[in-house]
Amino acid sequence: MDVQIERAKRDDFAEMITLADMTLPDRMNLHELKKYMELFPELIFKATCNNLLIGFSCAGIDMYQSTGWLLFSNVRKEFQGQGIGKRFIEARLQALRQFPTLRTIRVTVSETNMPSIRALEAFGFRLAQAEQDYYGPGKHRNVMELPILSVATTVSPQIDVSVEPVL
């Protein structure tokens, strides 16, 4: 099975909505996906197998570009459990790390979704907080977080990095 992960394009929109209706009927709608495509065009990825769309995922970043989010990920049921979700995590992390001011990446996950929790932990995510009723009554979520080391925090404060002007 040859699964390709790549950035989604505007031309993929209709097919992505059809897949969302099948896999996320109560979580994703046309309006929401359209806004993600407008706000984060470089952070939406698709998975294809033999030119068939089998999944897509999205990341986002706050207006200060310091906190990234893994917003959603979905894969057709018959392709789940084959590492595609992990590849989506990897693609989104790589894309978010291109923002030089990024300090942390967060994601919400159902407390009962152990495959996703294990996959996120494998990438270094840790539980930041358990939030009751995150998406409404009875829809609890774990908020997981991955700190990102910046170059500025890795420089020792004792080192003088000033440069003398050349005359």
Distance CA 104, CA 112 (A): 24
Q: Domains in the chain, please, with CATH?
A: 3-151 (3.40.630.30)
Handedness of CA 42, 45, 50, 54 (dihedral sign): negative
Total-model pTM: 0.84
pLDDT tops 90 at residue 28: no
pLDDT-derived band of residue 156, with 50, 70 and 90 as boundaries? very low
The pLDDT of residue 1: 75
